């Protein structure tokens, strides 16, 4: 399944990349999809299962990467269907 994690800043997205680049996690940094926000930003698109994404989200919080939101991403008939899974509690 594909997931997207948005961050409070580009700096935090780059911290995510630095932390997970040397792991087996399949991810890419990409612009935040317009379905999520019309403002600029970088998000991590991650291919993993439901159990792993919860651990990744928690690692982001523990490591102070300031994740804003976690979303699922499904492409259907060339259209993205994005659903909010959780938002960071501030």
Bridge partners, 76 (sequence order): 79
Structural domain span for residue 65? 2-87
Residue with tokens 């994690």: 5
Confidence (pLDDT) at 11: 94
Domain count, the chain: 1
Confidence (pLDDT) at 38: 74
What pTM did the predictor assign?
Answer: 0.91
Provide the CATH number for the domain around residue 59. Answer: 3.30.70
pLDDT along the chain (90 residues), means of 10: 94 95 95 86 95 94 93 91 89
Helix (H) or strand (E) holding 83: strand 79-87
């Amino acid at each position: 399944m594909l997931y997207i994690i948005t961050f409070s800043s580009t700096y935090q997205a780059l911290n995510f990349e630095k932390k997970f680049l040397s792991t087996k996690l399949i991810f890419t940094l990409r612009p935040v999809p317009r379905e999520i926000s019309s403002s600029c930003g970088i998000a991590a698109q991650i291919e993993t299962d439901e159990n792993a994404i919860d651990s990744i989200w928690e690692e982001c919080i523990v490591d102070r990467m300031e994740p804003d939101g976690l979303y699922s991403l499904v492409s259907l008939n060339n259209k993205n269907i994005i659903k909010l899974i959780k938002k960071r509690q501030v």
